[in-house]
Amino acid sequence: MLELQDIHTYYGNIQALRGISLEINQGEIITLIGANGAGKSTTLMTISGITPPRTGRIRFEGRQIQGMSPDRIVTMGIGQVPEGRRIFPQLSVQENLDLGAFPRADKAAIRQDLEYVFHLFPILSERRHQAGGTLSGGEQQMLAMSRALMARPKLLLLDEPSMGLAPLIIRQIFEIVEQINREQNTTIFLVEQNANLALQIAHRGYVIENGRIALTDSAANLLRNEAVQKAYLGI
């Protein structure tokens, strides 16, 4: 479904990605784990067109997408939930969700998807007229995920959904990531510092170090890998 080939991404003179290659198959949950500054967020932002690569190729469903604008990439079926949620704090929950559906015109299906996100996160339905900025951190994460789902993505990019949240809420969010994958057949690319949890729901994983893929394997094998355990799982 998605293929990155030898991707190099820079911020001015600073090189963040140094030849990333990876692939994601339709229906998979794939996680990208790595230390602070390894290049995880940059990988997601490179795919979504926010920080385009300087060299390399990105193919999504057989079409090259590097160089396309971020809104065009959303229209192609790639949704992103950015690090730190980035909801619109002054707008209501409902207005945030309406904005998520911007690429679409199919009103009946949009209404159905609204019902679906309220089914996933009933609290958002209760808070639909409340300003996004007044929600708790966990609720803002739910809103950010729901806003992305309102565009009906085929591939959902999730950047550190667990950041700053209490363990119970994190567990709930991860269960819902699995549920979205199962019920909507949405392919998931999950970036996480909480490698342990991420590997528990993922099918496969990639380990990124200094802008390069250091290792890739099934999630089960990565959980058993001693180097991974030492570096990322605190074992």
* Nearest distance from C-beta of residue 16 to ligand ATP, angstroms: 4
C-beta closer to ligand ATP: residue 31 or 96? 31
Under the criterion CB under 6 A, does residue 105 sit at the interface with ligand ATP?
no
Compute CA distances 116 → 37, 95, 109, whole Å. 35, 16, 10
Q: Are strands 2-11 and 14-24 parallel, antiparallel or unpaired?
A: antiparallel
C-beta closer to ligand ATP: residue 2 or 17? 17
C-beta closer to ligand ATP: residue 40 or 204? 40
C-beta closer to ligand ATP: residue 20 or 110? 20
Q: How many residues bind ligand ATP (CB under 6 A)?
A: 12
Under the criterion CB under 6 A, does residue 155 sit at the interface with ligand ATP?
no
Under the criterion CB under 6 A, does residue 13 sit at the interface with ligand ATP?
no
Q: Are strands 78-81 and 29-34 parallel, antiparallel or unpaired?
A: unpaired
Compute CA distances 147 → 30, 66, 86, 96, 185, whole Å. 21, 24, 11, 6, 17
Compute CA distances 191 → 38, 40, 113, 162, whole Å. 11, 6, 25, 10
Restricting to residues 30-49, which ones interact with ligand ATP according to CB under 6 A? 34, 36-42
Could you tell me if 210 and 42 are in contact, meaning their C-beta atoms sit under 8 angstroms apart? no
C-beta closer to ligand ATP: residue 193 or 200? 193
DSSP-derived secondary structure letter, 136: -
Under the criterion CB under 6 A, does residue 152 sit at the interface with ligand ATP?
no
Residues that bind ligand ATP (CB under 6 A): 11, 14, 16, 34, 36-42, 193
